[in-house]
Amino acid sequence: MSHDTLPRPRPRPGTTGERPTGPPPAGHRRHWTKRANPLAGLGSILWLVVVLVPIYAMLSASLTSQDKALTGNPLSPPTSPTLDNYNTVLNSGFGHLLGNTAIVALAVVGIVLVLSVPLAYVAVRTRNRWSGLAFRLFLLGVAIPAQAVVVPLYLLIAKLDLYDSLLAVILPTAAFAMPVSVLVLVGTLRDVSEELYEAMALDGASPQRMLFQLAVPMAKGGISTVVIYAALQAWNGFLFPLIFTQSDGPRVLTLGLFNYVSQFGVNIPALLASVVLSGVPIFAVYLVARRALVGGLMGVGGK
């Protein structure tokens, strides 16, 4: 989606010069700019309200002191805004949670890329029974919910002596991010034209060289999709940390948030402040690299 969310001057509807100001994307077309659609406009405003009211209530309440929060209307602006709730959260080990989550996300992305790229490459380039089977395994894996295997995984993790460690979160999270990653990569890699491989083969290139000098550069879009998808899986993962960790040491952000419910009790403003803080890192990425993030996510849907 890269091109679209970025506002740029549009030619007036009806003018003949239809040339876009940027590189013309595949879908840059006349009919979209024809005329206003009042009904759709109204609908979008309604949805805007649905999106913004909870976010506004959250921000406003997180700036309100606890005693005021219970008496006031959550939709009215805070009368005497305070950062106390944010201080409370930041002093409850928030940085530690954030650090753990970042480690998990990096490790998961690394493992998924290292394992999935060669796999997808083989699935596309080497047609035989084995690569077909491997592909089918991941095709079926798409629908295995992590919940279904959490009990036996708990047993495995305990036997491997990994219980209550970051690896206990990293390894299963990476495994469960693989099916979609493989499908996305296969989808991208199969579009690399055969002629290019042939040309490299004529030069005597090894499969390794073709992978790194042709397939990987050509599949950049798919790879960035996988990076974003895997990172989000790790960032948002809740079940594996809930079941496989226990102590403060390897606790990640999502589980930390969950624990704040009992820790802060009825201190809902502090709870909401922790929710806001948990969203800040991804929001920062969104501000800086919206095109890459959104474009990458679009890739999860294929084309």
Partner 1 sequence: MSAPSPTRTPPGDRAGEHAEPAGSGGPHRPRSRPRPRAAAGRPHAAWALPGVLFFTFFAVVPMGLAFYLSFTSWDGLGDPEPVGLDNWRKLLDDDRLVQSLWLTVLLTAASWVFQTVIALLLGVWAAGRQRNRAVLSAIFFVPFLLSSTAIALLFYALLDPNFGIIQENTLGSSGGAFLAIVFVGGWQFIPFHTLLYQGGARQIPEVLYQAAAIDGAGRYRQFFSITLPQLRHTITTSTVLMVVGSLTYFETVLILTKGGPGTDTAILPYLMYEAGFKSYDFGYASAIASFLVLAATGLSLILVRLTGFGGMRSTREGM
| Binding to partner 1 in span 81-110, by CB under 8 A | none
State which of residues 43, 81, 95, 265 lies at the interface with partner 1 (CB under 8 A). Answer: 43
Nearer to partner 1, 6 or 83 (CB): 6
> Which residues ranging from 249 to 278 are in contact with partner 1 (CB under 8 A)?
253-255, 257-258, 260-261, 266, 268, 271-272, 274-275, 278
**Residue 167 engages partner 1 in binding (rule: CB under 8 A):** no
Site map 221..250 versus partner 1, x via CB under 8 A: --------------xx-xx---x-------
- Angle of helix 166-189 relative to helix 150-159, nearest 10 degrees, comes to 120
State yes or no: residue 32 binds partner 1 (CB under 8 A): yes
Answer yes or no whether residue 288 interacts with partner 1 by CB under 8 A: no
Residues in binding contact with partner 1, number by CB under 8 A? 134
Site string for partner 1, 117-136 (x = CB under 8 A): -xx-xxxxxxxxxxxx-xxx
Comparison of 106 and 137: residue with beta carbon closer to partner 1: 137
CB atoms within 10 A of CB 127: 9
Stretch that binds partner 1, among 81-89, 92-100, 197-205, 220-228 (CB under 8 A): 197-205
213 binds partner 1 (CB under 8 A): no
Q: Does 153 bind partner 1 (CB under 8 A)?
A: yes
Return the range that interacts with partner 1 (CB under 8 A); candidates 79-87, 92-100, 147-155, 219-227. Answer: 147-155
Cβ atoms of residues 241 and 255 within 8 Å: yes
C-alpha separations of 135 from 74, 121, 172 in Å: 51, 11, 19
